[in-house]
Structure 1
Amino acid sequence: MTLKLETIAEDVLRRAEGKSRFIIAIAGPPGAGKSTLADALCDALLARGETAAVLPMDGFHMDNGILEERGLLSRKGAPETFDVRGFLDIVFAVRKGGQEVLVPVFDRSREIAIASARAIAPETHFILAEGNYLLLNEAPWTALSDNFDLTIFVGPSVAVLEERLRNRWQGYGLDAAAVHAKLFENDLPNGKRVIENTRPADIHIDIWE
């Protein structure tokens, strides 16, 4: 399905009527356009006079040192390489509301998460949680499901994902061998896992540019 941003924003506003806090989950495989959609939708809501903030799951990457100790560094980005409990605690706090919540943000250029890099104010109406595994039908990720008011899944074909991810890693200056390893040993297996094991979403979008 192809939807315009304005259509999604108006749908969100309609669904959120009467709710002091409305949490949207934007999920999908790596390279699908989740972050771009989350940022664009956040901006669209702000432009309509609403309060909104993005809560990125990527801020909960385990540190490379821990991943190396566990033999998972080459799998960075897979479900088991995230601090799921930490992310759940933040989502629960945001769901409860009533207080400022500080969240980490991932710096891709340095491959590290920056602690308390973003503040979500208690009066923020819309929270846009964004990440690969928000709708993953595997424990412990399934514990997230009751906290979302609206779910959006961005799910392009594997062929489109491969092209987009290849372009992403080439843009970071990786050579052909490194790009191939990133794609076929990590990103695409993770992407297929998401596509094959995701719970149904309220809105399904094929791709977001």
Structure 2
Amino acid sequence: MSSYTPYFEFNRKKWASLRNHTPLPLTEEELDNLKGINEEISIQEVEEIYLPLTRLINLYVEAYQQLNTATSSFLKNNAKKAPYIIGIAGSVAVGKSTTARLLQTLLSRWDNHRNVGLVTTDGFLYSNEILEEKGMMKRKGFPESYDTQKLINLIGDVKAGKNKVEVPIYSHLTYDILPNEVQTISNPDILIVEGVNVLQVDKENQVFVSDFFDFSLYVDAEIQDIERWYVERFLLLQETAFQSPESYFHRYINLSKENAIKQATQIWEEINLKNLHENILPTKGRANLVLKKGSDHKAENIYLRR
């Protein structure tokens, strides 16, 4: 039987040693602003996990930029620079949004790629009005709830060097797309695309979102830990964001803690767990790097594709 595995495996200590004196361009205050609502991430975590990762990505981007220059020279043209595109996937509540924001900040501190854009696929969900019309509100987050072609077109425009592209904005407060509001991405050196669905293969389309990726990362953890984080986040939001009358989940503010836990667990099991098993976990093996977290949100193992 072959002992071949497609990944190099690193424990935390071995991975941390690959930092190779990469400086820490981040303050405690900046890190606090990047954290998710119930995610504890320390400067030590940044030093031991994310600095080696950004060093690796910097090496990849540098090689990519050199290749583009060589190709342009060979073709004797002055083609616009093509951005390096990174995909970040993983379950709801696993911490991929924090990972994306952290990577965006750290990568923007390198001289050869200061302009780092970030797009989340939430902006490409169909509006609640459309989802309700189609009877898909309980399928929100599943592949069919996204305007995938619109996302593919946008990434294609960025990859082709279009000067400005407009990205729809999603509100986690209203749980819906914000009408007439957009985020503008302008000629990034790197574009990070983050979402549960970015590594999924749509059998109805010949082109996939991941076809545009130069590097992809999957944030992983044990399912029971992700469920616990989801419920903890729900309880924190019940005391904070849900209190706003504008919140889609305002209806839950008067639930007792016991009933709030039951409600969060029900949402998790009926929607997020089902989506995780059917659509998200099967894409893990397509990632270039898997970041496996322990029960305390700290990375325990890193798997880098050979």
Q: TM-score, normalised by structure 2?
A: 0.63
1:203 correspondence with 2:289 = yes
Aligned to 1:51: 115
Aligned to 1:135: 199
Give the greater-gyration-radius structure (CA): 2
Aligned to 1:185: 270
Given residue 64 of structure 1, which amino acid in structure 2 is its aligned partner? N
Structure 2: gaps of 5 or more residues = 1-9, 16-48, 66-80, 239-251, 253-259, 299-306
Say which of 68, 84, 92 aligns to 1:22.
84
User: What is the RMSD of the two structures over their aligned residues, measured on CA atoms?
Assistant: 1.9
1:76 correspondence with 2:161 = no
- Structure 2 SS opposite 1:152: strand
- Structure 2 SS opposite 1:87: helix
Given residue 214 of structure 2, which amino acid in structure 1 is its aligned partner? D
Given residue 178 of structure 1, which amino acid in structure 2 is its aligned partner? Q
Aligned to 2:58: 13
CA distance in 1, matches of 2:133, 2:194: 28
Q: Percent identity?
A: 23
Shift of the 186–162 alpha-carbon distance from structure 1 to 2, 3 Å rule, reads same
Shift of the 150–67 alpha-carbon distance from structure 1 to 2, 3 Å rule, reads same
1:32-181 alignment, distance < 5 Å: 32-49=94-111, 50-114=114-178, 115-122=180-187, 124-140=188-204, 143-173=208-238, 174=252, 175-181=260-266
CA distance in 1, matches of 2:216, 2:223: 21
CA distance in 2, matches of 1:106, 1:199: 28
Bigger relative CO (Cα 8 Å, ≥ 6 apart) = 1
Which 4+ residue blocks in structure 1 deviate beyond 3 angstroms? none
How many pairs are equivalent? 208
What is the CA distance between 1:197 and its match in structure 2?
A: 4.2
What is the CA distance between 1:116 and its match in structure 2?
A: 4.6
CA distance in 2, matches of 1:137, 1:63: 22
